[in-house]
Chain A
Amino acid sequence: MRSETLIAAFVVGMMLCSTFMVYGIGPGVPDLEASVIGDDVLAEYSMPSSDHAYPGVILAVPVSRYRQDDIAVLMTGRNGIQDSDPSMVQGLVDHLSAELENIGSDSKVSMIEERYLSSYLGTGNGTLIIASALDPSLAQEVSEWVWNGGVLVSIGPLSIPFNGQDNLTIGYVPFDHDHAISEGSASEGPGLRMVAPPFGLLSSDVESCQGTVLGLTDDDQNVTTMAAIPYGQGAVLAMGGPIKEPFRASMEDVFAWDLARCLEAGLQWAVGPLSYEPLTVPSSGLHDTSTFKGEGEAMSIAIYSLDDAHSLFSCVRVSL
C-alpha cells in the first residue's frame, strides 16, 4: 500500500507541476505607446517586474510601410557549403513558429517545397524565407513577386535568386565574428543573436542599394549580418548565412529569435538607421520614456527583453 501511495503522490505532484508550467501566471507583458512631439517621437513604456533585474532594449526605425504577413519557408532540399541543410530549414520552421507565438504574434509559419513555389507566388504578397540556392528558372518569378510588394528574407550567399540583376547586387564574404561579439548572455546593441554566420553581407553593397544595415558589423564596419534593402514595392531582408552549427550563434534558434522580433517590428521596411537604447529592468519593473528623432514618413518602435528567462515584446507604429 505504501508503494501505491508514494506513486499516486508522485503522479499528482507531477500533474500539479505540469499545470503550473502550462497554465501558470507568466511574467506579464510590456506596455508601449508612442506619440509625435515636434520632430521627435516620444515612446512611453513599462516593463513588468521579475524576481531579478533583466536586460531589455527599446529601438526605433523609420519605415516605408508596415504589413503583417504569414510566413512561408522554402525547402529546396539542396545541401552545399553555402546552402542551409534541409534539417536546419525544417528546424527554422519549428523555431520561428514557436518564437512568434512566444512574443504574441498572429503570423503563421508554413513550409513550401520548391515545386509549389510558383503557385505560392501567385497568391499575392507575403513573406518568403529562402535559405539555400534556388532553381535558376524561378529567379525571375521571385524577382517580380518581390518587386510587386513581396518580402524576401534571404539567408546566406545563394539565397537572393536575382542577386546581380535589376540594380541589386550584394556581395558576401566570410564573417569574422571574433572581434564583433563579446562574452555574455546576450549580445550588445539591439541584442540580435545571430552573431556568427559563416558569410556576411558587404555593407558597401547594402548602401549602394539604398539599404539599411541592421545587424552586427565586424570591426572595420565592412561586413554585416543583416540588412534591409528596398526593392520596388517590396523588400529584401538579407541575412548572413547559411544556417550552420552551432546553436546560439548561427543555427536555426538564433535566426528564429532575430526574425520573429525583426519581422514583427517591421524592420524589413526600414529606410533609415536603427536607433536603440539598452535597458536594465529592475526587479520592481520599469516605467520610463525615451525620445527618438523622427525620420521618414513613419516610425516603428519596439521594446523587448534580451535574456532567456523572459520573452517580452511589444511594438507600435507612428506616422510623422
Chain B
Amino acid sequence: MFVRAQDTIRNVLAPTPTVLKFLVVGLLVRLLLAPWTSFPYDTYPFYGAVVGSLAGTGPYGNVLFTYPPLFAVLITPLFMALSYFMDPSAFGTFVPSMIEVSRATGMLVPFVTSPMFNLVLKSPLILGDLLVGLTLFRTVDRWKGRAAGEKAFLIWFLNPLVIFISSVHGQFDVLAAYCTLLGALFFFDRRYILSGTLLGLGVLLKIYPVYIILVLLVALLIPLFRELREGRALRSLRPTMSFMFGGMVSLVAIIPFLLDSSSFLEYVFRRGTYSSVGGMNIWFISPLLSEFSGGEGGSEGGIPFGTILLITGFVLTLLISYFMLRKGADRKSLLLCCTMVLTVILLTQAVTNPQYLIWLFPFIVLMIEDHPRMLKKVYALSVLGLLYLFCLQSGFVFMYPMAQYIGWPSVTMLSQGIEAYFIGTSIARNIVLCSLGGAGFLVLLTVILPSHMDYLERAINGLKNWRGTDAK
C-alpha cells in the first residue's frame, strides 16, 4: 500500500527527472518569496474575506471581497485551521506611516499582512501553478512526446511572470486558469459533464471562463442546429445537455451563498462594469489622456463604458466562435478558437492587468509545438507584464511584509521610494506605463494575426539576420 502510494506520488509529481528538477527549483523560489512579499491593495480584500468568515459575517460581510465566492471558500478552511494556532489579530498590522503614500498613489492600503498569512494565502496559488504545469506536461507529452511535455512544463512553471503573480503579487488567476484549462481539455476528450463542471468552477473563481463556456457552447450548438434544420436525429443534444448539466453541478459548491443572500451577486457583477480603462490593451493610452485631462476619467450617467465593453466582449466571442467553428470543431480548431477569444477579450476589455495574461498562457503553451512563434509571445508578454507591474508603483510596493516584519528595508524607506517614484515622475511614469501597455497590446495582437502578418516574428527574424550578417 505504502509502495503504491509512493509510486502514485512519484508519477504525479516526478513523471521525469527533468520535470522533478524544474519542479523543485520552481517550488523553492516560490516558497522563498511568498511569505515576505505582497501587494497590500489586493491582499487586503482577501484579509477582509478571511476575518469576515472568522467573525461569522461571511466573506462579503465587510464588503471588501467582491470576487465570486469560491476563492474565499477555498482559503477559509486553511485560515480557520491557522486561527487555532495563531491569533487572527496577528494576521496583519495597520501601519499609519503608510497613510500618506497610500493616499498619494490611491493603490495602497496601510495594512500589511504577516508572513504566515501570506504563505497560507499563497499556498493554493502555488499549488495551482504546479497543477497547471503538470497538466501541461501530461497533455503535451500525450500529444507531442516527452521532450515537448518537459519544455511546456519548464515554460510555464519557471516563467517569472507566473511565479510573480502567484508568489509575490498573490492573485489567484492561476486557479481559474487551471479550471479553464482542464475544462477545455476534458471537452476536447468529449467528457462534457466534467468540462462543464470545471468551467463552472472557474467562473465561481473569476468571471472570465464564461468566454470559454460560450466558445464551447457554440461548438455544441452549431451541429445541433444543423441537425434540427436537416431533420436528422439530435445526436448533439446529449453532449449539450451534459455540458450544461456539468455547469449546474458546479453551482452546488456555492449553493448556500445563493440561497442565503443575493447581495454578493451585486458586488460581483458591479466589478465587471467599472468605468476605468487601461493596461495592456487597446485602451493603453488612457492613463496619459487622463493625466492631460486633469485625472477625470470614467463615465457618469447613461450606460457605463465597462458594461458596453462587457457586452462587446460577449458579441465578439460569439462571432469569432461561429466563424472559426462552423466547419467543424476538432481539437486543433477548438484550441485555436479558445486562444483567439481570450486574446481578443484581453485586447478589448476595459482593464488588462498583467496578471490576466495568466488566463492566456496555458493555451499558448499548448500551441507552441504546432506554432513555434508563440513561444516568443510568452517571453515578450512575461517581460512586459513584469515591467508593467514594477512601473505601476515601483517594485518597492511588494516589499512591505519584509519591511514590517523583518525591518529591512524600513517601511519609511519604501514609502519614500514609492512617493518619489509616483509623484516625482508623474507624466514620465504615465508615458512609461502607456508605452509598456502599448507594447503589450502590440504583442498580444500578434497572437491572433496569421503568421505572414506577424510583425513581431518578422522583426525578430530581421534582427537575427542583421546580427548574422554583422557577425560575418
A61 to B88, CA, bound (A): 31
Interface size on B, residues (CB 8 A): 64
Using CB atoms, name the residue of chain A closest to B69.
A18
Q: Which of B74, B88, B89, B186: most chain A CB closer than 10 A?
A: B89
Tell yes or no: A24 within 8 A of B by CB: yes
Tell yes or no: A83 within 8 A of B by CB: no
Interface contact A309-B102, CB-CB below 8 Å: no
A24 to B53, CA, bound (A): 10
Using CB atoms, name the residue of chain A closest to B108.
A246
Query: Nearest chain B CB to A141's CB is how many angstroms away?
Result: 25
A77 to B299, CA, bound (A): 12
The 0/1 profile, CB within 8 Å of B marked 1, for residues 283-320 of chain A is 00000000000000000000000011111000000000
Interface contact A51-B84, CB-CB below 8 Å: yes
The 0/1 profile, CB within 8 Å of B marked 1, for residues 1-39 of chain A is 001100100111011011101111111000000000000
The 0/1 profile, CB within 8 Å of B marked 1, for residues 87-128 of chain A is 000010011011101100000000000000000000000000
Which one, B44, B63, B191, B254, contacts A98 given CB within 8 A? B63
Interface contact A308-B250, CB-CB below 8 Å: no
Stretch among A63-71, A178-186, A223-231 lining the B interface: A178-186
Q: Which of B41-60 contact A (CB under 8 A)?
A: 44, 47-48, 51, 53-60
Stretch among A132-140, A159-167, A200-208, A247-255 lining the B interface: A247-255
Interface contact A178-B96, CB-CB below 8 Å: yes
Q: Which of A53, A94, A178: most chain B CB closer than 10 A?
A: A94
Chain B residues with Cβ under 8 A from A245's Cβ?
102-103, 106
Given contacts A11-B252, A18-B253, A308-B51, contact A95 B102 (CB under 8 A): no
Interface contact B256-A21, CB-CB below 8 Å: yes
Using CB atoms, name the residue of chain A closest to B296.
A79
Stretch among B122-130, B194-202, B235-243 lining the A interface: B194-202
Interface contact A11-B256, CB-CB below 8 Å: no
Chain A residues with Cβ under 8 A from B250's Cβ?
11
Which one, A4, A11, A25, A178, contacts B201 given CB within 8 A? A11
Which one, A4, A18, A25, A27, contacts B194 given CB within 8 A? A4
Interface contact A14-B254, CB-CB below 8 Å: yes
Chain A residues with Cβ under 8 A from B102's Cβ?
245-246, 249
Q: Which of B33-79 contact A (CB under 8 A)?
A: 44, 47-48, 51, 53-64, 69-70, 72-74, 76-77
A182 to B103, CA, bound (A): 18
Query: Nearest chain A CB to B177's CB is how many angstroms away?
Result: 17
Which one, B73, B296, B300, contacts A21 given CB within 8 A? B73
Instruction: Kindly count the residue-residue contacts between A and B in the assembled complex, taking CB atoms under 8 Å apart.
Output: 161
Which one, B56, B70, B92, B257, contacts A27 given CB within 8 A? B56
The 0/1 profile, CB within 8 Å of A marked 1, for residues 319-346 of chain B is 0000000000000000000000000000
Given contacts A15-B252, A86-B300, contact A248 B110 (CB under 8 A): yes
A22 to B263, CA, bound (A): 13
Interface contact A21-B53, CB-CB below 8 Å: yes
Tell yes or no: B443 within 8 A of A by CB: no
Interface contact B95-A309, CB-CB below 8 Å: no
Interface contact B61-A18, CB-CB below 8 Å: no
Interface contact A308-B89, CB-CB below 8 Å: yes
Interface contact B62-A95, CB-CB below 8 Å: yes
Interface contact A18-B99, CB-CB below 8 Å: no
A91 to B267, CA, bound (A): 10
Given contacts A21-B76, A52-B87, contact A253 B64 (CB under 8 A): yes
The 0/1 profile, CB within 8 Å of B marked 1, for residues 176-217 of chain A is 011001111110000000011010000000000000000000
Tell yes or no: A145 within 8 A of B by CB: no
Interface contact B109-A246, CB-CB below 8 Å: yes
Chain B residues with Cβ under 8 A from A101's Cβ?
57, 61
A10 to B178, CA, bound (A): 14
Interface contact A244-B103, CB-CB below 8 Å: yes
Interface contact A248-B252, CB-CB below 8 Å: no
Interface contact B89-A185, CB-CB below 8 Å: yes
Interface contact A11-B197, CB-CB below 8 Å: yes
Tell yes or no: A54 within 8 A of B by CB: yes
A177 to B96, CA, bound (A): 8
A255 to B95, CA, bound (A): 18
Query: Nearest chain B CB to A66's CB is how many angstroms away?
Result: 25
Which one, B58, B59, B89, B109, contacts A309 given CB within 8 A? B89
Chain B residues with Cβ under 8 A from A308's Cβ?
47-48, 51, 55, 62, 88-89
- The 7 nearest A-B residue pairs measured at CB: A26-B56, A246-B102, A14-B253, A309-B88, A308-B51, A22-B256, A52-B87
19 contacts between A and B (CB under 8 A): A17-B74, A17-B76, A23-B256, A23-B260, A51-B84, A52-B87, A52-B88, A79-B296, A95-B63, A98-B60, A177-B99, A185-B94, A246-B102, A248-B110, A253-B64, A308-B48, A309-B55, A309-B89, A311-B56
